[in-house]
């Protein structure tokens, strides 16, 4: 399963200091920062090259996870201005420094950009637990089909049972 690239805008604590943050970063003096909601995504960013990690840190991202419990692909409208500023700084960093040839590890820039394009501000943001409970009560609209190896295995299993049944009936003297 892929990483989840949802992130929240959180206020910085007054004693919040990141030793990896470049002091010449564009977010110097900013009162907020962006934190991914999923610890695996944060770990993937930590595992990327120092140059990529630095671009995110300079733009205003943090290397901690913050699970706000908000449903995926949505964020509070109050975060929109800070979110846009942080993303604008990040894309300016990427454009000026470049990421060509840098190690990004499990962090997938295409999936990150897909999330950024599709995330929407929603008033009265619902929690992820309410979304998952709602899905549990509603039957799935589409039944998942078996994979090809699963279908072949099922067909082989049924044919073995049918052959065994025919042999048993032939041995008992009955004909089908």
- Given a contact cutoff of 8 angstroms between Cβ atoms, the answer to whether 95 and 154 are in contact is no
CA distance 147 to 144: 9
Read off the tokens for 72: 């995926």
Q: What is the pLDDT of residues 86-115, one digit of tens each?
A: 999 999 999 999 888 899 889 999 999 999
Q: What pLDDT shows up at residue 141? A: 47
Radius of gyration of the chain (CA): 26
pLDDT number for residue 23: 40
Chain mean pLDDT for the chain: 80
| pLDDT, average across residues 19-40 | 68
pLDDT on residue 2: 82
The yes-or-no verdict on residue 62 having pLDDT over 70 is: yes
Does the structure show a pLDDT above 80 at 1? no
What is the C-alpha to C-alpha distance for residues 8 and 125, in angstroms, rounded to an integer?
12
Does 25 score more than 90 pLDDT?
A: no
Which of 13-17, 27-31, 170-174 ranks highest by mean pLDDT?
Answer: 170-174
- Percentage of the chain beyond pLDDT 70 is 74
Quote the CA–CA distance of 42 and 31 in Å, as a whole number: 20
Q: What is the pLDDT of residues 122-170, one digit of tens each?
A: 876 566 554 444 444 444 445 456 677 777 888 888 889 989 988 888 8
- The pLDDT of residue 26 is above 50: no
pLDDT at 83: 94
Look at residue 14 in the predicted model and tell me its pLDDT.
58
């Amino acid at each position: 399963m892929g990483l989840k690239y949802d992130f929240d805008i959180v206020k910085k604590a007054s004693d919040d200091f990141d030793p990896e943050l470049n002091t010449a970063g564009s977010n110097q003096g900013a009162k907020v920062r962006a934190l991914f909601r999923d610890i695996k995504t944060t770990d993937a960013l930590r595992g990327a090259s120092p140059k990529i990690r630095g671009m995110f840190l300079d733009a205003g991202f943090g290397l901690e996870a913050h699970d706000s419990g908000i449903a995926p692909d949505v964020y509070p409208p109050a975060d929109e201005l800070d979110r846009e500023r942080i993303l604008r700084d990040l894309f300016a960093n990427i454009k000026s420094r470049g990421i060509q040839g840098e190690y990004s590890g499990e962090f997938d820039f295409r999936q990150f950009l897909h999330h950024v394009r599709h995330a929407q501000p929603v008033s009265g943001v619902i929690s992820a637990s309410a979304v998952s409970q709602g899905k549990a009560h509603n039957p799935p609209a589409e039944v998942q089909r078996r994979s090809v190896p699963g279908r072949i295995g099922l067909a082989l299993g049924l044919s073995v049972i049918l052959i065994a049944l025919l042999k048993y009936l032939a041995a008992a003297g009955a004909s089908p």
